[in-house]
Amino acid sequence: MSETPQDRATSSVRSFSRPGRTARAARDVRESHGGRRLATGVTVAAAILVLAHLAHTVALGPYYPPGPGPWPAWIALALVVGIGVVARLAGRILPDWLYVLLLIGLLAPLSLDVFATAGLLHHGVTPTAAAAAGAVLMPVAAVWGTRISLASATVIAVVLAAEAVLQVVSAGAFTVVGVAVAASAVFPVLLVTLAISGFRRLVGLELDLSLVQSTIGTPRSAVGMRASEELAQLDFDAETLLDDVGSGRIAIPLPPDAAERAGSLAARLRVRLIEGRTDTWLRHAVTESAYLSERVTVDDPTGCAGLLSQGRRDGLLLALWLLVAERSKRSAPPMAVLVRCRERSDDAPDATGFDLSIQVSGVTRRRVDPATWDAIGRVGIHDVVTEAEGFRVDIDCRVDPNVNTGSPSVRTGRQIEGN
């Protein structure tokens, strides 16, 4: 069954992804602000751990048998770290293949150190350069990626732990020391991984909120990033088609392929014109957010949310943000938020406003952050109704007729007919 122009228009509207310039801005903010400081702190902590392992090596020097001892492993580790530092200073971003090469290079100090300390655990001699190789992976996790760094540190820890366990008969109680050294190779990387994951999630939430907050200052019926990008493309496609017809490159009557293009453009324009009447700031904020779009649904057929003042809009957006940040229990259904806006009838006691409800499922009322209720209080007088799988917040949204909502046709809480 062939896809109609209307279907293509609808799918193009729904398959929105944030523009590339916004994604680049997000990466720049994450790297230039807290991300760079976090990487610097992790690098300093890794250097301290490496120096501690080096001091441990010097202290164990008299217990090694005659020969090169642990120093070949330390030289190999210094070469790998030196190549990585020089490459990092020479270029701001290291290619992935170089990272992989450096990770493979860590096998040299690991194997040399294991060979140098084999059978010496009963003297209290443990691998040091290999454990320091695990600490070297800490800045790699902060700069490149956490999964591969954590997996590499785990491999190092498993090898060191296996070496200690194999000497349990001769080493006795020193086996615990060997296992502890093995844990020291992976535990710092695990802590860094948890810290980086939390940091990236926090920065992503705050950055996305800052970007989406620009929608609260838009008029009642205004286009957002999604619509502006699509309208610009529609304008270009329509202008190209008209230019082809006007210059004679496309004959009249239009051939089937050109007629299908024209029909598709017309269908997409109709979709935008229809949605533009009720496409308020709230719908833009939810659609354009990488976090709200996954859990929040807006049901506002008449565009009532556009009547809210900027202060009330900011409170509603913050309340939704805090609700989405709550995590549902494993036994509860997935987290979902439904925002429903409805006009009041003409015979209502107060028709200069509308009713707004926020239905939350998957999270109980007592788990909601107190700041959420403060944000909801900025929107209007509210009442909370407890339900089986969550709760519902009914808000009485009063609209000041003198508040400028960006639409000259709005005098009260109701939209003038024909607008």
Q: What is the pLDDT of residue 79?
A: 94
Which pLDDT does position 36 carry in this prediction?
74
84-88, 237-241, 316-320 — most confident range: 316-320
Find how far residue 115's CA is from the centre of its chain. Answer: 43
pLDDT higher than threshold 60 for residue 148: yes
Is there a cis peptide before residue 65, judged by omega within 30 degrees of 0?
Answer: no
Please determine, for residue 329, whether its predicted confidence score (pLDDT) is greater than 90.
no
The confidence score (pLDDT) of residue 234 equals 64
pLDDT for 344: 78
Q: What is the pLDDT of the chain when averaged over all its residues?
A: 78
Highest mean pLDDT range out of 33-37, 46-50, 290-294, 367-371? 46-50
pLDDT at 399: 77
CB atoms within 10 A of CB 371: 12
Look at residue 235 in the predicted model and tell me its pLDDT: 65
Quote the radius of gyration of the chain (alpha carbons, Å): 31
Task: Report the alpha-carbon distance of residue 317 to residue 286 in Å, rounded.
Answer: 9
Q: Minimum mean pLDDT among 21-30, 87-96, 214-223, 342-351: which range?
A: 21-30
- DSSP annotation of 381 reads E
Contact 379, 316 (CB under 8 A): yes
pLDDT reported for residue 276? 52
Looking at residue 360, its pLDDT comes to 92
In the predicted model, is pLDDT for residue 366 greater than 90?
no
Residue 404 confidence (pLDDT): 47
DSSP states of 95-118 as a string?
A: -HHHHHHHHHHTHHHHHHHHHHHT
Model pLDDT, residue 30: 44
Asked whether 181 and 127 are in contact (CB, 8 A), the reply is: yes
* CB 154 within 8 Å of CB 187: no
Residue 33: both structure tokens together: 């602000």
Cα–Cα distance measured from residue 236 to residue 230, given in angstroms and rounded to the nearest whole number: 10
Identify the pLDDT of residue 356.
93
Non-local (6+) Cβ contacts of 208 within 8 A are 26, 289, 290, 291
10 pLDDT more than 50: no
Q: Give the closest residue to 298 by CA, choosing from 345, 358, 242, 240.
A: 358
Q: What are phi and psi of 199, to 5 degrees?
A: -65, -45
Query: What tokens appear for 83 in the block?
Result: 């190549």
Alpha carbons 76 and 110: distance in angstroms, whole number: 9
Q: How many CA atoms lie within 13 A of 396 on its CB side?
A: 8
Nearest to 162 by CA among 179, 177, 144: 179
Q: Identify the pLDDT of residue 11.
A: 41
Cβ 265 vs Cβ 238: under 8 Å: yes
Q: How many residues does the chain have?
A: 419
Structural tokens at position 191: 């802590």
Range from 273-277, 355-359, 372-376, 407-411 carrying the lowest mean pLDDT: 407-411
User: Mean pLDDT lowest for which of 87-96, 122-131, 324-333?
Assistant: 324-333
- pLDDT exceeds cutoff 90 at 161: yes
By the 10 Å C-beta count (0-12 exposed, 13-18 middle, 19+ buried), 30 is classed as middle
Residue 40's pLDDT is what? Answer: 85
Band of pLDDT at residue 250, cut at 50, 70 and 90: confident
Higher pLDDT, 278 or 217: 217
Q: Give yes or no for a contact between 258 and 265, defined as CB atoms under 8 angstroms apart.
A: no
Residue in the block written with tokens 């833009």: 284
Please name which of 123, 105, 120, 106 lies closest in space to residue 163, comparing C-alpha atoms. 120
pTM over 0.75: no
